Amino acid sequence: MADIDEDEVAPVVEEQEEEVTDLMGAVRGVLKRALVVDGVIRGLHEVAKHIDASKAQVVFLAESCNEPTYKKLVQGLCLEKNVPLIDVPDNKSLGEWAGLCKIDKDGLPRKVVGASCVCVTDFGEEGEAYNYMMNHLGKA
């Protein structure tokens, strides 16, 4: 093993936030930051509990969900508790953004599990993605 000199300090690389140009990019960015602070809830049962307890800040529902009663339940709960609901076209991409996958050594997602319903309880650090999403929801 090589000894590290005190002069050789690894430079601190500040992670640059991605440019947000569309709603799905904003959703991805918001979920990425919420995952860091453990603010992402996945699955119908847990999401329904958090919406009912008024802990959910925003809910994401996959349009590719083929169970109409599932969608109606989430939409009804969000409407009743005034929680913003954002439709995401694909449940596989929603699952990937919510951390339901393995990341291989190349940094690519593997074994992605689809998620029909995800909610955020803690946004963590507010950034460009958060602002874009709030503008879309009309809460800016």
pLDDT digits 0-9 by tens, 17-49: 456 677 777 888 888 888 888 888 888 888 888
Beta strand pairing call for 85-88 and 58-62: parallel
**Whole-number pLDDT of residue 24:** 78
Domains present along the chain, CATH in parentheses? 23-135 (3.30.1330.30)
State pLDDT tens for residues 69-104.
888 888 888 888 888 888 888 888 888 787 777 777
Residues 103 and 133: their CA atoms lie apart, in Å, by 26
Residue 9 in this model has a pLDDT that exceeds 60: no
Residues 115 and 65: their CA atoms lie apart, in Å, by 9
Q: What is the pTM of this model?
A: 0.73
Please report, for residues 6, 63, 139, the alpha-carbon distance to residue 94 in angstroms, rounded to integers and kept in the order given: 44, 10, 23
